[in-house]
Chain A
Amino acid sequence: MKIRQEPFLIRVIERFGESFITLSTTIGEVVILFFDMLGRLPKLLRHPNLLLTQMEVIGLRSIPLVIFASMFTGAVSAMQAGYQMEGYAPPSLVGAVVGKAVILELGPVLTALVVAGRVSTSIAAELGTMKVTEQIDALETMAIDPVWYLAAPRFFAGFLMMPILVIVGSTVAILGGYLVSNITLDVSSPTFFNGVKMLFSSYDVLINQVKAVFFGGIVALSGVFFGYRTTGGAEGVGKATINAVVTALVLILVFDYVIASVML
């Protein structure tokens, strides 16, 4: 049997149209979920235990990982700064370079990337498993609103805890830079921290925290969204987890650029 094929151009347009519709629908669903969760905030604040539990799970338990990653990030920044400035600029500027880079860029972005790997995946896997095993349906039948009970606490916990994690990460990264400068580049403590202070601006901290707030929302929202719309069995949970982390990583980088363009 001969199957008649549409012309190539028509097929390309069809494929483009399908992708556009899927993307528009997904964005619409994300916006609806966001406002649904926002609407549950007053009730969530009346039952703070749900939020506090997730703040501990998402925030406090991420601190060791953030400290570990940030320490090495700061250390390698100082090492590379020292290497690149060798013979061109005094070592006293290492502190200035590390401080500026960490506060403006490395602190928020690397902390968010590390937390995305841990948090987006765990939220998506947890909610996805609950979805495919009918646990979310079971909550519905008990008249417990799953958006309030499951989604909103995770989203707002991510939103609230990321700025704290970024402060921890940025501080530890600067300390990591200091240790390497002090030990390998022979930069004294006052020299290093005077350098940090020299280029320090409170506006940079504002940018650092604005990024943190956006990245926290992105990390938690992608986990909640893909977990919540999981279908199929174990394979579906795997796909949701991958989608959550990939989306979070891409959006963090995109929003990093957007925020930098707007605020710098």
Chain B
Amino acid sequence: MRKRNRSILPEENGCEIVIEHLAKSLGGQPVLRDVNLTIPPRGTLGVVGRSGCGKSVLLKHIIGLMWPDSGRVMINGRELGKMDRDELYQTRHRFGMLFQSAALLDSMTVGENVALGMIHNRSMSRPEIADRVSECLTMVGLHGLEDKLPSELSGGMKKRAGLARAVAMDPEVMLFDEPTTGLDPIMSAVIDEVIKDLVERLSTTAVVVTHDMRSVSTICHQVAFLHRGIIFAQGTPEEIMASEDEVVAQFIAGRADGPIKPRL
């Protein structure tokens, strides 16, 4: 078994993410007002909420792609905003992220995309990297497509290639930004199964941002409902599904009428 590149704390501690009083405005509009959330090591947390409620913004704060106006994100007790560049990158070695658009580098082949992190962050030989690339692509059902360009792949294949890239470095924490958005129901189910399988096999912590409640019930152990810039409700998928709160119930049922007024 490959040894992970642990950087901050010993392996047995895993990776705990604590978000405290996080607030962020974009273009003068408050998106996150006061988010408090603890993501324990190992397990899958789903962050759900309406489109534009700040789910992806929250995810980008967790990996330091965005910085809060106030509040903080702690990774194993260390505040992300107080890390220098080297420490931030060391911390990012422990993360893998699947973007909504997959964000594959379009000038590179699928194989080169998956290999990129290993080439620049690991002292691995070329045959070792090639083996790992092949292994990751097999995991997501894309074996033999190393030489394809991203432009030659379908939407579902791009997501799976993005997944292969995200798991290539054996991350302790995986972040998924709307992994099934834009896919047909069958491909969504395939992606859900791949994510569930990967998270269990690698025993990582996973944060899944989505508004697909079927995905949530398939892959998540805990659900946080983000509404009006705060974590409005949190619980197991079953608890959230059975919630009697009118706001949560309207979102789960997908009704147009209720306390949440859609802006047209």
Are A141 and B121 closer than 8 Å at their CB atoms? no
Other-chain contact of B120, A130, A135, A142 (Cβ < 8 Å):
A142
Contact of B95 among A135, A141, A144 (CB under 8 A): A141
B-side contacts of A143, CB under 8 Å:
89-90, 92-93, 117, 120-121
A142 near B169: Cβ-Cβ < 8 Å? yes
Give the interface segment out of B100-108, B181-189, B202-210: B100-108
Q: Mark B54-85, 1 if CB is under 8 A from A, else 0.
A: 00000010011100000000000000000001
Q: Main SS of the interface on chain A?
A: helix
CA distance A29 to B99 in the complex (A): 28
Asked if A144 meets B97 with Cβ closer than 8 Å, knowing A133-B103, A134-B103, A135-B106, the reply is: no
Which residues of chain A (94-140) have a CB below 8 Å from chain B? 130, 133-135, 137-140
Cβ-based interface call for B49 (8 A): no
B147 CB → nearest A CB, Å:
19
Confirm or deny: B116 has a beta carbon within 8 angstroms of a beta carbon on chain A: yes
A56 within 8 A of B: no
Assess whether B111 is interfacial by the CB under 8 Å rule.
no
Count A/B pairs, Cβ under 8 Å: 56
- The yes or no answer to B229 lying at the interface (CB within 8 A) is no
Shortest beta-carbon distance from B11 to chain A in Å: 19
A36 to chain B, nearest CB (A): 10
Measured in the bound complex, the distance between the Cα atoms of B120 and A141 in whole Å is 13
Once A141-B63, A142-B120 are accepted as A-B contacts, the answer to whether A135 and B93 lie under 8 Å apart by CB is no
What residue of chain B has the Cβ atom nearest to residue A134's Cβ? B103
A-contact 0/1 string along B123-161, CB 8 Å cutoff: 000000000000000000000000000000000000000
Enumerate chain B residues within 8 angstroms of A145, measured Cβ to Cβ. Answer: 85, 89
Please give, as numbers and ranges, the residues of chain B lying within 8 Å of A135 by CB-CB distance: 103-106
> Chain A residues near B89 (CB, 8 Å)?
143, 145
B-chain residues with CB within 8 Å of residue A134 when the two chains form the complex: 99-101, 103
Residues of A within 8 A of B99 (CB): 134, 137-138
Interface membership of B96, Cβ < 8 A: yes
Q: Which residues of B contact A144 (CB under 8 A)?
A: 116-117, 120-121
Known: A143-B93, A144-B116. A137 touches B121 (CB 8 A): no
User: Do residues B85 and A138 form an inter-chain contact, with CB atoms below 8 A?
Assistant: no
Q: Which residues of chain A are within 8 angstroms of B60 by Cβ–Cβ distance?
A: 137
Partner of B121, one of A130, A133, A140, A142: A142
B117 touches A133 (CB 8 A): no
- Give chain A residues whose Cβ lies under 8 Å from the Cβ of B106: 133, 135
CA of A142 to CA of B64, assembled, Å? 12
Q: Once bound together, how far apart are the Cα atoms of A142 and B165, in whole Å? A: 9
Would you give the shortest CB distance from A42 to chain B, in whole angstroms? 14
Q: Are the C-beta atoms of B101 and A133 separated by less than 8 Å?
A: yes
Assembled-state Cα–Cα distance A126/B215 (Å): 35
Which chain B residues numbered 216 to 264 have a C-beta less than 8 Å away from chain A?
none
Query: Which residues of chain A come closer than 8 Å to B90, judged between CB atoms?
Result: 143
Interface centre among A133, A137, A139, A142 (most CB of B within 10 A): A142
> 13 extra interchain contacts, Cβ-Cβ under 8 A, other than A135-B105, A142-B169, A143-B93?
A134-B99, A134-B103, A135-B104, A137-B65, A141-B96, A141-B97, A141-B175, A142-B117, A142-B121, A143-B92, A143-B117, A144-B120, A145-B89
What are 23 inter-chain pairs, A to B, with CB distance below 8 A? A133-B101, A134-B99, A134-B101, A135-B103, A135-B106, A137-B60, A137-B99, A137-B103, A138-B97, A140-B63, A140-B64, A140-B92, A141-B63, A141-B96, A142-B92, A142-B116, A142-B117, A142-B165, A142-B169, A143-B89, A143-B90, A143-B120, A144-B116
